[in-house]
Structure formats: structure tokens, C-alpha cells
Amino acid sequence: MAKCRSCGTDIRWIKTPAGNLMPCDVKSIQYWPRNDGKQKIVTQSGVLVSAHLEPPAPSLLALQNEQPETGYIPHWATCPYAKNHRRERK
């Protein structure tokens, strides 16, 4: 198992569609994809999506017949040292 160079936490590498590797937390989570979602999730195919970690209200869930999906939290969202690895925007 790979470990984060900064905090030492176990991480998994997921290949993005562009062929890059994204560090993610090891544990998979359930999420509901949403354009207005505040949480970023990496899908099993490596796509970064906006999501909610809580299910929608029961009335919306029944109307839209939504099922949760499984993905991973990018490690930069949970690593206490993530700021040390960010590049400045030009």
C-alpha cells in the first residue's frame, strides 16, 4: 500500500482519463452526484465529480429514483499538509 509522503496515511492511486495518477483515501464511500455538490469525489474510473455525501431528501430520492454511487475522496481534501503540495496558478 502506498503512503502519503507528508502525513504517512495509506493512499491509493487512481488513474484519471488523462492518464495521470490521483492520490485518494483508501476507503471507498457512497455519494450522490450533484452539480451543486460541495464535496469532490474521484470515481472508480478516475473522473472528478461534485457530489453530496448525504442522500437527497426522501421525496426527491423517490421522484428521481437515484441510487448512490461508490468513489473515493481525493487525498488532498483530507491531508493536513495538502497546502505544501499545491502549485501557484499563473
pLDDT at 25 over 60: yes
Mean pLDDT of 50-70: 75
Decide if pLDDT at 13 tops 60.
Answer: yes
Buried b (16+ CB within 10 A) or exposed e, 26-41: eeeeebbeeeeeebeb
Report, as an integer, the average pLDDT of 19-32: 95
- Reported as a pLDDT band with limits 50, 70 and 90, residue 20 is very high
57 close to 74: Cβ distance less than 8 angstroms: no
- pLDDT value, residue 84: 82
Arithmetic mean of pLDDT, 8-14: 96
Q: Is residue 61 over pLDDT 70?
A: no
